[in-house]
Chains A and B, each alone.
Chain A
Amino acid sequence: MDNELIQFKEVTKKFGKNVVLDSINLTIPEGKIIGIIGASGEGKSTILKMIASFYTPTKGEIYYKKKNLLKSRKLICKFFGLSIEDGSFYEKLTVKENLFHFGRLYNVKEDILKKRSEELISLVGLENAVNTLAKDLSLGMKKRLDIACSLIHNPTLLILDEPTSDLDILLRNQMIHLIKKINSHGTTIVLTTPNLSEIEELCDRIAILFNEKIIEEGEPSRIKSKYHAKNLNELFNKIFSKRERKTYQESTIKKSRLKLLNKEESLKKSLISDKEKFYSLFEKKDFGEDKKNKKEVKND
């Protein structure tokens, strides 16, 4: 493939004795949206974090435009933007302050940073919350802020780890629209999501992860036709036969449980925060900034 951006070559990742990825090969072409499919705890996030050079492989090599990622991490990491499931920004900084902070950490020049932050705020639709503290944003707004922080240095590759998790259907659609919009600007996107219909809607290519290995990689249509499946859900069912799925579920149930608990907790927190905000809107005489927030929450 001529326009390959990222290439995994026989990459193995172990955490202690636990093998998470076993000699995987993966190619991410430039300008496309690539989805990584797999059950919880299968190693999807590990792949993403290895691309972002947060984790180093135990074995094997990763290349960015044919350059070894590990050997020139500092030079290459500025081409990546990563947005994780729980978000990664300062809750006590405003939207604008967060963008400026991370932009400066990526050594973006001040004039460019100002322009870029304005563009991003507009892109992710946070115009009404520029000076709102991140902790006061709604869940959907936080997700969008996190993506904006990932894009502040204008990366060539945006890595999204479950960008639509915990979002309701309206927010999910907004997020899908945003991802398409970002990709339309030429940014390559790698994402994971448990929702296969989203993958089908968004991705130009998919990679299916099972038992520490990538068992299928390519265009969804090609893989679907290979397995005579109408959609990815059917494909998924065919690939993971009932028996395999049972074994698989048993082996991964422990891993999933913890993750689900964490999700539940963060969702609860978010709900409480939203609830408090909702009540506070009625308590305050001066609506000012809160009116904006309310509007945003409604929009979301």
Chain B
Amino acid sequence: MIKSLLTIIQKNFKTLGRSKFSLIAIILVPLLVILITGFAFNSSGLSGINIGVYSDSYSNLTTEILFSLENQSFIINKINSEQDCLNSIKRNENQICIIFPGNLSKQGNSDEVRFYVDNSRINLAYSLVHEINSKISTTSSSIGQSLAQELISSLNSTKTSLSSQNFELEKLKSGVQLIVANSENNLSFVKIENASSYLILTQNLTSNLTNSTSISTNINETLKILSELNSTLLSASNKLNYLKNQSQNIKILLDGVSNKFNLMSAEVNKVNIVNAENIASPIKIKIESININSSNKSYFTPTILSLIALFGSILLSSTFVLQERKSKAYFRNFITPTSDLTFLLGNYLTCLIILIAQFILVWIGITFILDVSVLSVLSSISLVLFLSLSAFIFVGMFIGYLFKSEETTIFAGVLIATLMMFFSNVLLPIETISGQFKKIALFNPLVACDSALKKIILFDLGISKILTEIYILIGFFVAFAILSYLGRRITKRML
């Protein structure tokens, strides 16, 4: 059994090795896909994002924020009005619109910075808001930090001043205590209480003078007492002068303290923070959607239509062509007077009719199951779908002419469709693709189809607003029609 098994495996490898194209497709193409996607998605963030900006008046802070966004590779487009800014998202000229309040300042703002996003590009909207918000938040937290720092500096300065004033006050306190003590000492020194004895002595002197007995003694005693009194009064006067000086010093100190308090008050008054919220979030942000009346079902309708068109067309037309090639009649077709172009057109129209029938069913499903009405824009949608289906059909036909075996054709068809899906907004935002790959991806017919359908279904935009997408689809249509024609001519040689 093992021998048989090995023989079968050996045979399989030999046959696979002898169909080189299949081998390349099966083994090398996935590697190529990894390589391409690896190069394309090698950046961690978003790049080349167009930001529409509007403000009544661009304050210094707004300019500062815009400058910081520009430094982060965002492309800032100043728009003349808020409505134009919103419309620019609908036209896919800008991916986000930021409306700055006119008075945006570092001292806190009552008005919000409003972000307008396209919710139909949900994978972009939130990553973009997050990205820009983080940049604005950096500025905001920097402002908050500087406000807090200002507050802390003021508090620190007050604290330092208070401690120095505390010292001054201590000095004052000791000065006052000294005065009190001095007053007490001086009063005791002056011995005022002795004045009564002086008074008695004076009275005695007076009586003695009346008695004239010991006038001389008494006069001498009185003179002595008066002299003592004089010196006491002198001393008291000196002490009072000292106290006066001390009081003046205290007044000077008190003036100094008062000045310091005035300075502290001025310092504190410098802080213009009205409320705590200004420190916590000096710039307020509000996120709004431009798709006010749309639901998630509407958001995904264009993408669903694009994907059905892509996979349906590529798989149908590629297998159709391959079946034709594999048919015994393929040879006879070449010897009839019917031209290759007629055959090509015949196959294309067959696929188109089948796909149109499929899309009629899809339309019924969208209208009655998803409850999304597209009747009002049916003509525009039909044009975009016709061009997209045509482009995808010819891509599929080219694949059908390129590969020989059924499995390789289906593999290639799915692979091409998946690559197109990868390099579109379906899985990851196209803005996450880096470098030249992004430029190439912008010409992806799936991106053009999806974008055009979004503009029509979600934003009611007319044909004039989707001309770029139409040109891309026509370009693909024509290019792959020519390639399919050449492919058919080449397969003739292989017969």
Q: Does B13 contact A (CB under 8 A)?
A: no
A55 CB to nearest B CB, Å: 9
A105 CB contacts on chain B under 8 angstroms:
333, 336-338
Whether B335 lies near A86 (C-beta < 8 A) is no
Contact A77 B331 (CB under 8 A): no
Residue interface bits A240-278, CB-to-B below 8 A is 1, else 0? 000000000000000000000000000000000000000
Q: Is A109 an interface residue (CB 8 A)?
A: no
Whether, in the assembled complex, A107 has its beta carbon less than 8 Å from a beta carbon of chain B, the answer is yes
Contact A77 B328 (CB under 8 A): no
B332 touches A77 (CB 8 A): no
Task: Tell me if A87 and B328 are in contact (CB < 8 A).
Answer: yes
Q: Point out the residue from A74, A89, A91 that lies within 8 Å of B332, measured CB to CB.
A: A89
* Bound form: Cα–Cα A86–B330 in Å: 12
Distance (whole angstroms) from the CB of B338 to the closest CB of chain A: 5
Q: Which residues of A are found within 8 Å of B333, using beta-carbon distances?
A: 105
**Hey, which chain B residues are within 8 Å of A75, CB to CB?**
337
Contact, CB under 8 Å: B332 / A86? no
B39 interface residue per 8 A CB criterion: no
Taking the complex as formed, is B360 at the interface, i.e. its CB lies under 8 A from any CB of chain A? no
Encoded as 1 (CB less than 8 Å from any A CB) or 0, chain B from 308 to 345 comes to 00000000000000000001111111111111000000
Interface residues of B in 29-68 (CB under 8 A from A): none
Q: Is the CB of A90 within 8 A of B328?
A: yes
Cβ contact within 8 Å between A82 and B335: yes
Closest residue of chain A to B492, judged by CB?
Answer: A54
* Cross-chain contact A89 with B337 (CB below 8 angstroms): no
Inter-chain contact B332/A82, CB cutoff 8 Å:
yes
| A 98-110 binary contact with B (CB < 8 Å = 1; else 0) | 1000100111000
A213 to B155, CA, bound (A): 111
**Binding site of A, secondary structure by majority: helix, strand, loop or mixed?**
loop
Contact check, A88 vs B336: say whether CB atoms are below 8 A apart: no
A86 touches B328 (CB 8 A): yes
Q: Provide the bound-state CA to CA distance between A67 and B32, in Å.
A: 52
Query: What is the bound-complex CA distance between A105 and B333, given in angstroms?
Result: 8
Return the chain A residue nearest B331 by Cβ: A88
Residues 34 to 52 of chain A near chain B (Cβ within 8 Å): 52
A: contact size bracket: 20 to 34
A80→B335 contact, CB < 8 A: yes
- Which of chain A's residues 51-88 have a Cβ closer than 8 Å to chain B? 52-54, 74-75, 77-78, 80, 82, 84, 86-88
Docked-complex contact A88 and B328, CB < 8 angstroms: yes
Minimum CB–CB distance from A57 to chain B (whole Å) comes to: 14
Instruction: Decide yes or no whether A149 CB sits under 8 A from chain B.
Output: yes
Please determine whether B337 and A90 come into contact, CB atoms closer than 8 angstroms: no
Chain B residues, Cβ within 8 Å of A98? 329
Max chain B Cβ within 10 angstroms of own Cβ: one of A75, A77, A88 = A88
| A52–B330 CA distance with the chains assembled, in angstroms | 15
In the complex, chain B residues whose CB is within 8 Å of the CB of A80: 335
Q: Using Cβ atoms and an 8 Å threshold, which residues of chain B touch A90?
A: 327-329
Q: How far is the CA of A102 from the CA of B335 in the complex (A)?
A: 10
Task: Give the residues in chain B near A106, CB-CB below 8 Å.
Answer: 336-338
- Would you give the shortest CB distance from B403 to chain A, in whole angstroms? 21
Residues of A within 8 A of B327 (CB): 90-91
Give every chain A residue within 8 A of B492 (Cβ-Cβ). 54
Q: Which of A54, A74, A91 contacts B334 (CB 8 A)?
A: A54
Taking the nearest CB of chain B, how far is it from the CB of A281, in angstroms?
A: 25
Q: Bits for B327-369, please: 1 = Cβ < 8 Å to A, else 0.
A: 1111111111111000000000000000000000000000000
Does the CB pair B332–A88 fall under 8 Å? yes
**Chain A hits for B337, CB < 8 A:** 74-75, 77-78, 105-107
CA distance A53 to B333 in the complex (A): 12
Q: Is the CB of A54 within 8 A of B335?
A: yes
Q: Which of B329, B338, B339 contacts A88 (CB 8 A)?
A: B329
Min Cβ gap B323→A in Å is 9
Nearest chain A CB to B378's CB is how many angstroms away?
35
Q: Are B328 and A52 in contact (CB under 8 A)?
A: no
A106–B334 CA distance with the chains assembled, in angstroms: 11
B329 and A77 contacting across the interface, CB-CB below 8 Å? no
Instruction: Determine the chain B residues whose CB is within 8 A of the CB of A84 once the complex forms.
Output: 331
Tell me, in angstroms, the Cα distance from A7 to B338 when the chains sit together: 24
A-B contact pairs, 10 of them (CB 8 A): A54-B331, A78-B336, A78-B337, A87-B328, A88-B330, A88-B331, A91-B327, A105-B333, A107-B337, A149-B332
Q: Chain B: residues with CB nearer than 8 A to chain A?
A: 327-339, 492, 495
Q: A-B pairs with the 6 shortest C-beta distances?
A: A88-B332, A105-B336, A88-B331, A105-B338, A90-B329, A52-B335
Binding site for B on A (CB under 8 A): 52-54, 74-75, 77-78, 80, 82, 84, 86-91, 98, 102, 105-107, 149
